[in-house]
Amino acid sequence: MHRVVPEIIVENYRAARYRGEFPAVGMFLDLTGFSSMTDTLMQRGQHGAEVLANLMHGVFDPLVENIFNYGGKIVSFAGDGIMALFPIEDDEKTTAMRALASAWMIQHKLLEDPERQTVYGNFRFSVKIGMALGGVSWGIMRSDDETKAMYFFRGSAVDDSARAEQGARAGEIRLTGGIYALLRNEIDSSPSASFRSLNGFRRELPDPAPDDFPPVDLETSKLFMPEEVISQNMRGEFRQVVNLFMRFPDLSYEKLQAFMQIVFELHEKYGGLVNRLDFGDKGCNMLILWGAPIAHENDIGRALNFVLDLKSRVDFRITAGVTYYVAHAGYLGSAMCEDYTCYGWGVNLASRLMISAPDGSIWIDERIARRVKNRFEFQFYGSQYFKGFAAGQKVFVLTGRKLQELFHQGEFVGREAELPRLIDFIRPLWRGKFAGLMMIWGDAGIGKSCLVYEARESLLHGRRVLWALCHSDQILRHSFNPFRYWLIRYFGVDSSMDDSTQKRMFDAKLDQLIGDTPDPSLSAELDRVRSALGNLLDLHWSDSLYERLDAEGRYNNTLNALIALIKAESLRQPVALFLEDAQFLDEDSRAFLPRLKNALTAGNVDYPVAILVSSRRTGIETALDESLIDQSIDLGPLSTQALFDLAEIYLGGKVSPDLVRVIESRSEGNPYFAEQILIHLQEESLLEMSERGWQITRRLKETSLPADIRALLVARLDQLPRNVRDVILTASVLGREFEARALAEMLKSRDVAE
C-alpha cells in the first residue's frame, strides 16, 4: 500500500487532535527536468509511463530518504517540488543544522549524478532549495458525516522557504535571514539577492538517523485519499485529465473549515480528486483533478459545474484555471512518503491560468472551450503567453451554464430506417393523444441523442411543443436527478442567483402554469404541491407542506408534483419527455416512470405526452422494466456508405476509399468515434487532397487514438471491477489479436511477481 497521507497527520487524527502549532525549519525543494522528460515519454504510450514512473521513483527515493534521515517530515508534494518541515522540539540550532545537512546531501548527491539513462534517451535533473526558520500551524478539516477529511500546513516556515526557493539558481541552497543569523558561525555563505546562499560548513555534518515507519493505516488514510489510490499496484499511467487550479483569500481556520464543508458536499456531487490544499508560493490554493484515478465520461462538465457551484456558495472571490490535457497520473516520492498526483503541461497551464486571471474569473483553455460550447457560456479573452510555454495559449472566460442546453452535436447520417419510426411514434402528440414510451438502445456515441434531435427538428415546423431534456448522470444519482436537471432549465433558475430571486422566478413560472391550466382540480393540485416541486430545486419554505411531512409523505408528494406539472404542461402544449442515458437512472426516477405512465393513461382525459428513453444495453441492471416499453429502436454501427457520407460532410469534399477504410476500422462504425478520428486527422495535419479525394498523408500508429475517444474508453474501463480491469490492461499489451495461452502466462507471471 502507498503512504500518501503524512504520518504526522495520521497520528494526530487517531489521537483526535485536529489543529496545532509548532516551530520548525522549512525546506522547499524544486526538482527541474521533469517537464521535458514527461513530454518525451508521453509519446511512448504505457511503456513510456512505466519508464517515467521508475525514473520518478529512482530520483525521488534518495531525496525523501535524506529528509527523513535528518528528522524532517514531508508534508506535501507540489508537482515536482517537496515541502518538508523539521520540527524544533529542543535545540533549534541542532534542528537547523540537521535540516541544512539534509539539503546539502540532497544537492550534492544530485550534482554528482545528475543524469538518468533510459531506452528513450538520457535526462538530466537539478534541484534548488529554499530554507527558512519560523512557525507552522496545521489543521485537519472533516466533513460533517466524518467520511472525508483534508489537512493543511501553513505559516512563516512554509511561506518563507517557498519564497527563498523561487529566485534560486539550479544547484543553489538559499537561506532566509533568520536561519542565517542562527547558524552564521557554523556555515559558509554568500549574499544572494535578499537571501544567503549556502556554500559549505565550518564543522562536521551530523550523522543521519534512519527512521522506522509503522504499517500504512488504511482506515484513517482513506478519509483523506480514495482507497483506489492507497492500494492500487500501478505506479503510473498516462490519462486524459481535467485540472482545476483555484485560489482564494487566506482564510481563518473557522472560515476554512466552513469552506471545506462546501467542497466536501460538491465533491460528493461531482466527484474529482481533491489533490491538495496549499499555502505556499502561490498563496492559498487548491488543485482538484478529474480523470484520475477514476475517469467518467463527462469529467469536464463535472469540473466546470463544481467551480461554478462553489463560486455561488461563498462570499469571497474564487479565481480558477481549468485545462484538459494528457497527464502522467501516478506517484511521487518513496515508500516512506509519497503523493498521487498528475504531472504534465496541463497542470502547469492550469496553474498559470489561475495565477494570471483577474480576481473572481475562471479561465479555461481551448481544449475545454471546444468541448463545452453546447453546455456552458464563455467568452474568448485572447491569446496569452505564460512562463514555460513557447506558443501563445488561447484563453476563454467561463461565465455560466446555458439555460437552454443543446443535447446534440455532430452530423446526422445513416439512420434512414430509424428516423421515420421515431417520427411516427411522436405524431400522436398533435392529435392530443398520449404517444407511449419509446426505448432507444445503443452504445455510447452511437447516435441516440442525435436521432432524437433530428426527429425533433423534423416535427417542429412551427408546431408548439415542450421538449424536456432529463439527463441522467453516472455520479449524480440523487433522488429524481434527471428531473431536477430539466426543472432547473424549465424554471430558469441558476445556483448563481440568490435564494429570493430563485423563489421569485419559480413562483412566477408556476403561477402562470396554474393560471393556464383548464382543469380546476389539476391547478389546485399544482398549488398544493408547490413546496414539493420547489424542493427538487433545493428551494425551501418554513412551515410549508413539504417541511411538515414525514419521509414517505415527502416522497409521494414529490411524485404527485412531477405528475401534475407534466399533465398541466401537456394541456397547454404537447410534451416530449426525453430521458437521456437511462442506464444511470437513480432508483426514485426509475420507480417514477410507471407511476407517470399510469397517471397519463388512466381516466378520460387525454394528455399529449411522449416519453423517449435512451440507454445502453451494457451494464449490471436493465434500464427499465420491459412491460413499460411500447416500442424500441436498436441503433447499430453505421454502414460503409454512411461513413462515406459523414466524412464528405465533415471535410467538405470527396473522400478516398482508403480514408474511409481507416475510419471504419478504427471507429467500428461508431459515428462519434468516426467524427473524433476526422477531427484528430485534421488537427494533426494528416490529411491531403488527391485525385481520389481526401486521404491520409502517412500511416497511422496502431495505438493512435484521439484524446476524447481514449478518455471515453478509459472511463468505460474504470467502471469495471478491478480484477476484470487488470485482465484487460494486461491483454492490451498483446494487441487486438492474441493467443489465450499467452495472456494466461502473462497473468500468471504477474500474480507471482505481486
Query: How far from chain centre, in Å, is Cα 342?
Result: 12
Nearest Cα residue to 310 out of 250, 258, 372, 240 = 258
The cell for 277 is 490544499
What is the distance between the alpha carbons of residues 370 and 41, in angstroms, rounded to a whole number?
26
What is the distance between the alpha carbons of residues 282 and 78, in angstroms, rounded to a whole number?
11
What pLDDT shows up at residue 263?
95
User: Is residue 70 a contact partner of residue 102, using CB atoms and an 8 Å limit?
Assistant: yes
* Domain locations along the chain: 7-400, 430-445+464-634, 640-709, 720-753
Strands 393-401 and 376-384: antiparallel
What pLDDT shows up at residue 620?
44
The residue behind cell 484524446 is: 707
- For every residue of 578-603, DSSP letters joined together read EEE-GGG--HHHHHHHHHHHHHHHSS
- Going 735 to 740 to 741 to 746, the CA torsion angle's sign is positive
319: which DSSP letter?
E
What pLDDT shows up at residue 708?
60
| Residue 38: strand, helix, or coil | helix
363: which DSSP letter?
E
What is the distance between the alpha carbons of residues 76 and 73, in angstroms, rounded to a whole number?
9
What is the distance between the alpha carbons of residues 75 and 86, in angstroms, rounded to a whole number?
10
380-399 burial, b if ≥16 CB within 10 A, otherwise e? eeeeeebeeeeeebbbbbbe
Q: What share of the chain is helix, strand, coil (3-state, %, to 5)?
A: 45, 25, 30
- For every residue of 701-719, DSSP letters joined together read PTT---HHHHHHHHHHHHT
User: Is residue 383 a contact partner of residue 355, using CB atoms and an 8 Å limit?
Assistant: no
Q: Which burial class, exposed, middle or buried, applies to 43 when counting CB atoms under 10 A from its CB (0-12, 13-18, 19+)?
A: exposed
Q: How many helices (H) and strands (E) does the chain have?
A: 27, 25
User: Is residue 484 a contact partner of residue 593, using CB atoms and an 8 Å limit?
Assistant: no
What is the pTM (predicted TM-score) of this model? 0.75
Measured N-to-C along each axis, helices 345-356 and 34-41 cross at an angle, to the nearest 10 degrees, of 130
Nearest Cα residue to 241 out of 711, 641, 738, 575 = 711
The residue behind cell 463527462 is: 298
What pLDDT shows up at residue 326?
81
CATH class, domain 430-445+464-634, is: alpha beta
Nearest Cα residue to 472 out of 449, 446, 497 = 449
Query: How far from chain centre, in Å, is Cα 561?
Result: 34
What is the distance between the alpha carbons of residues 708 and 674, in angstroms, rounded to a whole number?
11
What pLDDT shows up at residue 62?
83
Strands 73-78 and 81-87: antiparallel
Strands 126-142 and 149-154: antiparallel
User: Is residue 329 a contact partner of residue 53, using CB atoms and an 8 Å limit?
Assistant: no
The residue behind cell 513557447 is: 390
576-604 burial, b if ≥16 CB within 10 A, otherwise e? bbbbbbbbbbbebbbebbeebbebbeeee
Q: Which burial class, exposed, middle or buried, applies to 461 when counting CB atoms under 10 A from its CB (0-12, 13-18, 19+)?
A: exposed
Question: What is the block-wise mean pLDDT of the chain (754 residues), using blocks of 10 residues?
Answer: 92 95 95 73 68 75 89 86 91 94 90 78 86 95 93 93 90 94 94 93 89 89 92 78 93 92 92 83 81 86 94 93 88 83 85 94 92 88 86 92 62 88 94 95 90 86 86 76 92 85 95 95 96 94 93 95 97 95 90 95 92 81 79 94 90 89 89 84 81 79 56 59 56 53 57 40
What is the distance between the alpha carbons of residues 270 and 68, in angstroms, rounded to a whole number?
37
Query: How far from chain centre, in Å, is Cα 179?
Result: 41
Nearest Cα residue to 400 out of 262, 266, 315, 308 = 308
Nearest Cα residue to 592 out of 438, 466, 481, 434 = 481
What pLDDT shows up at residue 703?
45
What is the distance between the alpha carbons of residues 569 and 571, in angstroms, rounded to a whole number?
5
Q: Distances in Å between the alpha carbon of 311 and those of 305, 320, 552, 671?
A: 10, 10, 34, 37
Q: Do domains 7-400 and 430-445+464-634 have the same CATH topology?
A: no
Q: What's the start-to-end Cα distance of the chain, in Å?
A: 12
Nearest Cα residue to 174 out of 124, 135, 114, 127 = 127
User: Is residue 480 a contact partner of residue 589, using CB atoms and an 8 Å limit?
Assistant: yes
Measured N-to-C along each axis, helices 640-651 and 657-667 cross at an angle, to the nearest 10 degrees, of 110
E strands within 34-125?
Answer: 73-78, 81-87, 115-118, 121-124
The cell for 623 is 434500464
The cell for 50 is 512505466
Task: Return the CATH fold of 7-400.
Answer: Alpha-Beta Plaits (3.30.70)
Give residue 463's region: left, alpha or beta (phi > 0; psi -120 to 50). Answer: beta
The cell for 451 is 436521432
What is the distance between the alpha carbons of residues 668 and 662, in angstroms, rounded to a whole number?
10
Q: Which burial class, exposed, middle or buried, applies to 158 when counting CB atoms under 10 A from its CB (0-12, 13-18, 19+)?
A: buried
Beta bridge partners of 135: 23
At position 558, the amino acid (one-letter code) is T
609-615, strands of its sheet edge to edge: 466-471, 575-580, 609-615, 436-441, 631-634
Residues with Cβ within 8 Å of 126's Cβ and at least 6 positions away in sequence, in order, are 31, 32, 33, 110, 111, 114, 170, 171
What pLDDT shows up at residue 739?
58
The residue behind cell 502507498 is: 2
